[in-house]
Chains A and B, each alone.
Chain A
């Protein structure tokens, strides 16, 4: 059905609010009280849980409930990401608000029997506090310091049903913009909110809209940048998978404000599930007349088209992205002119990141002041981080700006895996830097991260422990930038390659102190002379690790050792006196460099050793060590 007026939208909302009745109740009822009442089971359908068979859990649950005659009163839905990816697949039962973790399809019959038939939670699938060993059914510590604005609907609604989105105030912000606000007042609200670009740049969103609107033209475009290329970041993908309509609604609002009639979503082809959900969302929005001509009976017409990336990190840069949409090589161009002046097909274009857009509808509904009340002086609102690496609770977390790294990694993230020691946190991906222990208590915002040699980036946050070699990590990122440099400007194309060569030399034990100076000098030159953000930030992983982990570089260069035991060429394998002379290592050594008589301790010829580690793997007496 097509919605022809604002009242149509409101009627539809009130008709379907019943859908949400039992979800996230403020005062959850106990499992036994919820017996016999209508219930809803939300199963996480994000990429992580999807890969761990969550669709099969949905099917099994439906079949089992059917078999037991409970299908009428218990509704099973697939939602977006719950964020607690470490413990996936996750499912939540409403209105008793019980969260089950690490559920497998074969747990389903027992879960249905215990929870829905017997009326008591299935203890073994509840969260277990690692310190007290107590089982917790809801209100997990993982969520305590979080504040979900951009992720507000992920895990709350089904992303494949527009009615659910409408029931949670979906498209209400659009209606307000169309019928109760002027474009100028919308820009004022966004400016007042202090919202800044969440893709990494941190440019004020309200100002970007205003600049695009103020440029004279007969046509303008709005582009949603969903080319999330930072390895280890998956917040944009999760928003598109869990709440695609919020992005469409924000694009409509932006389109109306800057007076554009066409929008594009540029998304990575590597995100098939997000693409699938977006396609469904666009189709439904068209069916309900929320995309197309005369939206909600106004004179505003707007269409959205999906454009697929093809695997080029540089296309996250807005001018490169625009060239890619135009069907050419995704190389950046010199700014100015900025896209707001001359963008797609030469028209003023506003490029906004997914997470930025997801914040727009709540800002319109709750006001700029509300949003500006969250966060730090210059960075308002919240930020979603993809917390990954050597941390106990890998997942997607959304916290107010100004939260410290310590709170994120230790309170929410549950500390370092296997009780190891924290060494560094990497933010901003290949453009960011490695932050050492001494800055764990720095409140995170755009400015503070730049001040300590890193950057916000899109929100990837990789935790590293004592077993990670910082020189090797810097080399890893440089490998990435060498691969992804588009080749247009010499500083980036040639410079990153030279940096990578020097790092390789150091990790192979052939580095000199002169190389260290070269790295710094060259790094600064590349920063100053590259055309786009990729080159300008590519040396950051090196410069920050040299600054904070200089001793590790010196260990590689001067002592020819890798303190973390990662760089293969610097490793040394030795056989200790625990050796029983079983000959297993000698038999398996591909270089044939282990000698010794049976039942006598063996030894390794260091000259010929390939450092492959085959002996260490085979030894049954822990007699071989590497250092």
Chain B
């Protein structure tokens, strides 16, 4: 998996990746993972492109994209906030955490802020149950989030990093 957004045409990059695979159709899911890294999401156009390259019906590509929750067909914000909704977090107040973030960002889970800075989602267990309730912003895990001020501080850090026009230290960046 590649980490850095590329200055080159993402379609060319995707094609190069597909060409390098020993099997094509069997690697549809890996190709979609790669495409989502390159484009940030999987719009219609990208799905059709992949279908044409693999010589399979675009309905099949759509079927796979819509099946797996990891794939998204809507553009995401610059930073993706994921609230862990695993059972351990749930019994330690994940719902409250989710409501608090929704309040602070002014969006519902599954939506993106108007300034396209944040998308909010939930996921099922990242295995940091000792730190419950937790959220993950891009690749980074934040735990023991029971105070609204702590959440605000974390979100503000990401806001500021944008204002200062520099990337925060992230593990997995979403190419813009």
Contacts and interface: CB of A to CB of B under 8 A. Distances in A.
Interface string B107-135: 00000000000000001111111111010
Interface in B124-176: 124-132, 134, 139-143, 171-172
Interface stretch (B6-14, B73-81, B88-96): B88-96
A27 B49 CA distance: 64
A604 B54 CA distance: 64
Interface residues of A, number: 53
B67 to A, nearest CB: 4
A312 B29 contact: no
Given A272-B139, A326-B26, A480 B124 contact: yes
B86 interface: yes
Candidate in B60, B68, B127, B130 with the most chain A CB atoms within 10 angstroms = B127
Interface in B8-38: 25-30, 32-33
Nearest to B68: A310
Nearest to A315: B68
Nearest to A233: B125
A310 B142 contact: no
B39 interface: no
Contact of A426 (B29, B63, B70, B87): B87
Nearest to B122: A483
B88 A307 contact: no
Contacts of A476: 87, 90
B86 to A, nearest CB: 3
Interface string A450-481: 00000000001010100010000100110010
A329 interface: yes
A496 interface: no
A388 interface: yes
B97 interface: no
Given A326-B26, A328-B64, A86 B69 contact: no
B127 A234 contact: yes
B127 A310 contact: no
Given A231-B85, A272-B172, A462-B87, A312 B28 contact: no
Interface stretch (A31-39, A44-52, A362-370, A517-525): A44-52
A459 to B, nearest CB: 12
Query: Range of interface residues on chain B?
Result: 35 or more
Nearest to B33: A308
A233 B125 CA distance: 8
A329 B59 CA distance: 12
A310 B92 contact: no
Contacts of A310: 29, 32-33, 68-71
Contacts of B131: 48, 51-52, 85, 88
Contacts of B85: 231
A414 to B, nearest CB: 13
A389 B93 CA distance: 10
A270 B63 contact: no
A598 interface: no
B29 A327 contact: yes
B33 A269 contact: yes
A242 interface: no
A142 interface: no
Contacts of A473: 91
Given A269-B70, A394-B129, A388 B29 contact: no
B30 A311 contact: no
A231 B33 contact: no
A617 B60 CA distance: 51
A85 B130 contact: yes
B97 to A, nearest CB: 15
11 contacts: A48-B143, A50-B141, A86-B130, A88-B130, A228-B127, A229-B125, A329-B63, A330-B67, A331-B67, A426-B87, A476-B87
Interface of B: 25-30, 32-33, 60, 63-64, 67-71, 85-88, 90-92, 123-132, 134, 139-143, 171-172
Interface of A: 47-48, 50-52, 85-86, 88, 228-234, 237-238, 269-272, 307-313, 324-331, 386, 388-390, 394-395, 426, 429, 460, 462, 464, 468, 473, 476-477, 480, 486
Given A230-B125, A309-B68, A327-B64, 5 more contacts: A234-B128, A312-B68, A325-B26, A429-B87, A477-B87
